[in-house]
Structure 1
Amino acid sequence: MTRTTPEAERIVVVGAALLDGSRLLAARRSAPADLAGRWELPGGKVEAGERPEDALVRELREELGVDAETIARVPGEWQLRAPYVLQVWTARLRPGSPAPRPLEDHDALRWLDAGELWDVPWLDQDVPAVRELAELPPLGPA
């Protein structure tokens, strides 16, 4: 039996499928210790009263030092440990944005093309979202 979290008790965590053409940005965690060395889609928690798209732009600025814009929400929502749920948006760098660099909780970044998506050990919680991304253009079938 799957326990669902009532809408009012959910906390949305946004993840960015930051794209550069047909490449996806992966970020390697440096903290906390139990997640260090594993890879994720960068992002973070949506603050009270904040739209998920705005939270994603803010988180990318804080974590990677970039100016990004969201494109579209990836179909699906993935339960993390209650009450958190993961939602993912595709995003791209705005013209003139600095290149991404690890600022908070990451020690490495890597651009992955479609053939390299599974070359890094993703955090378990990000695997279903990466699977979904692998099926969408520009990474997967058109």
Structure 2
Amino acid sequence: MKKVVAAIIKEKDQILIAQRHSKDPLAGKWEFPGGKLEPGETPEECLVREIREELRVEVEVGSFYDGNVYGFKDQAIHLLFYWAGIMNGEVTSVVHDDVKWITIKELAKFDFAPADIPIVKRLEREYI
């Protein structure tokens, strides 16, 4: 099973979400940015690398928030979510069609990728 990590990047009262590229699977869906672990990499190292590659910022990875297993047609992924904060740089979308800073109350307005929905629901339950 593939391990994937995602960052809930928080700044003041907002979190960062990203819209999947129009040529990617699940095009147009919103997600928390992140990516697949490479061999020998910790989840925290992966998040630092992926966020640097995808958003051109340096993050400090905080505590583990939640995880779930999501089954796609041909495989399942183990998705791990961590809190993170931007340490350096301006967010620049490299692989996503769009990125937005939103409040947790605004999460319901966006069409999230299925694997992210349980985390969206938990954030709404705990922080609204």
Q: Common fold, TM-score beyond 0.5? A: yes
Q: Is the 8 A contact 2:3 2:36 kept in 1?
A: yes
Q: What's 2:121 paired with? A: 131
Structure with the higher fraction of residues in helix conformation? 2
Gaps of 5+ in 1: 1-9
User: Alignment identity in percent?
Assistant: 33
Aligned match of 2:34: 43
Amino acid at match of 1:74: Y
User: Which residue number corresponds to residue 32 of structure 1?
Assistant: 23
CA 1:78–1:135: 2 relative to 1, 3 Å: farther
Partner SS state of residue 77, structure 1: strand
Q: Please identify runs of 4+ aligned residues in structure 1 that moved more than 3 A.
A: 31-34
* Between structures 1 and 2, the one with greater strand share: 2
Q: Does the 8 Å CA contact 2:8/2:84 hold for their aligned counterparts?
A: yes
What is the total number of aligned residue pairs between the two structures?
126
TM superposition shift of 1:31:
4.2
Unaligned runs of 5+ in 2: none
Deviation for aligned residue 1:133: 2.6
The offset of 1:62, in angstroms, is 0.3
Moved more, 43-52 or 126-135: 126-135
Bigger Cα displacement from structure 2, 30-39 vs 17-26? 30-39
Q: Is this contact kept in 2: 1:78–1:128, CA < 8 A?
A: no
Establish whether residue 84 from structure 1 lines up as the match of residue 77 from structure 2: yes
Question: RMSD value over aligned CA atoms?
Answer: 1.6
Structure label with greater radius of gyration:
1
SS state of the match for residue 74, structure 1? strand
SS of equivalent residue, structure 1 residue 103 = coil
Q: Output the TM-score relative to the length of structure 2.
A: 0.89
Cα 1:52–1:80 change in 2 (3 A) is farther
